[in-house]
A and B are shown apart, each in its own frame.
Chain A
Amino acid sequence: MKQHLGRQSGVQNVEVSLIDGKVQVTPKEDGQIDPAQLLKATYDSGVTAAEMDLTARGKIVKDTSGNLALQVEPNRAFAFTPNELSKSLESLAGTQTAVTIRGQLYKKPSGKKQKIDTSAPLKLLILEVEKKE
């Protein structure tokens, strides 16, 4: 799996801990990494992703449906799963304020093992707002 993930675009380094099943992925400097592609690659390597957390820096924007999102690249934004923390960022929408967020992008639904649907957009559940600048 380490080699499989390491071959994905934008991946600098992959560390796998067999003891607790944790996989740490360090993106390249340019940050051009696709979390959905990583989930698919994980599944393709024969294991099931139970959770995916990420730390990302970007701007708060509102998407076409009016939902708040974190824009991490000009063409990539993660819509928030609404919670108290996402509400607290609403005033920053459309501003130049950069926000660093730690959040959960994927959690396996309870139940049987199932194929990951990569066509569905991943939503970011904010766990912590680390920095506003």
Chain B
Amino acid sequence: MNKRVALLLLLGCVIAPVSQAQIKHIEMRVEGMA
């Protein structure tokens, strides 16, 4: 049981930094809009 928890924690540490990486916001300035 403890081994399984430890494995899950280890997996979380590896995956978390990548899964939290993302584009949060995009702003554009456009021309020619009616």
Q: Which of B10-34 contact A (CB under 8 A)?
A: 17-18, 20-33
Interface 1/0 per residue, A99-111 and B, CB below 8 Å: 0100000001000
Interface residue count for B (Cβ, 8 Å)?
A: 16
Interface bin, chain A: 35 or more
Q: How far is the CA of A23 from the CA of B26 in the complex (A)?
A: 8
Q: Which residue of A lies closest to B22 (CB)?
A: A31
When the two chains form their complex, are residues B25 and A42 in contact, meaning their CB atoms are under 8 A apart?
no
When the two chains form their complex, are residues A35 and B33 in contact, meaning their CB atoms are under 8 A apart?
no
Q: How far is the CA of A47 from the CA of B22 in the complex (A)?
A: 27
Q: Which residue of B lies closest to A99 (CB)?
A: B21
Q: Which of A48-73 contact B (CB under 8 A)?
A: 48-59, 71-73
B-side residues, CB < 8 A to A, are 17-18, 20-33
